[in-house]
Amino acid sequence: MLYRFVWCLVKVVYGLMGRPRVEGHERIPATGPVILVSNHLSMADPPFLGGMVRRPVRFMAKEELFRVPLLGSLVRALGTFPVRRGAADRSALRQCLAWLEAGEVVGLFPEGTRSPDGRLQKLEQGIAYIALKSKAPVVPVAIQGTEKLLAPHAKFPRPARLLIRFGPPLAFPEFYGRKDTPDAREQVVSAIRDSIARLLDPPYRPAP
């Protein structure tokens, strides 16, 4: 009930502030576990992504948010779980895998932090571990415009044109059930990053 209320509120707010364009939503599987993997431009990205998907989306969020009065309780009630940045947080990985095993949709921003220049950065290796361990389809996502909607250190959002694109789901059956190796993870990370990059307009793509 709370999630649906917040989802409707986000739809209204983003509709008024961002006039979002959504492309490829039909590529998100209607049932079963799904990993949504997106670029990261702004603190506005998680609610934007969650608000544009009809199924409930679970997110990882930096643990500092959970220490903020009221906000911490709200994000936890919405199914968001904390992660320690800069370290391999095994409890967060276990929670993520548990959600996927339960058939949920999990949203991840594997750059680890907001892009400093708007371009897609390198992805952390943890996304490969989650994808291979869960065997869930990975849907690449491209977000654009949120860095203008809510710029770093801005106290209030401002109107901006928003775009979100969903790419075809990715699977990696050639690696399922095999020994986890750095080479396998690197191939998976590269495939995911390349898929996101192809969805982005040129100003947001990785620097040459």
The angle that helices 90-101 and 126-134 make with each other, rounded to 10 degrees, is 30
What confidence score (pLDDT) does residue 88 get? 61
Give domain limits for the chain. Answer: 32-204
pLDDT digits (tens, 9 = 90+) for 122-137: 999 999 999 999 999 9
pLDDT digits (tens, 9 = 90+) for 145-200: 999 999 888 878 899 999 999 999 999 999 998 888 999 999 999 999 999 999 99
The sheet with strand 105-108 has its strands ordered as: 21-23, 163-166, 138-144, 34-38, 105-108, 57-62, 81-83
DSSP-assigned letters across all residues of 13-72: HHHHHH--EEE-GGGS-SSS-EEEEE----TTHHHHHHHT-SS-EEEEEEGGGGGSTTHH
Residue 115 in this model has a pLDDT that exceeds 60: yes
Residue 87 in this model has a pLDDT that exceeds 60: no
What confidence score (pLDDT) does residue 72 get? 66
- CATH superfamily for 32-204 is Glycerol-3-phosphate (1)-acyltransferase (3.40.1130.10)
Average pLDDT, the chain: 90
pLDDT-derived band at 71 (thresholds 50, 70, 90) equals low
Tokens of 151: 């710029």
Q: For the chain, how big is the Rg over CA atoms in Å?
A: 16
What confidence score (pLDDT) does residue 107 get? 96
Q: Could you give the CA distance from residue 130 to residue 156 in angstroms, rounded to a whole number? A: 34
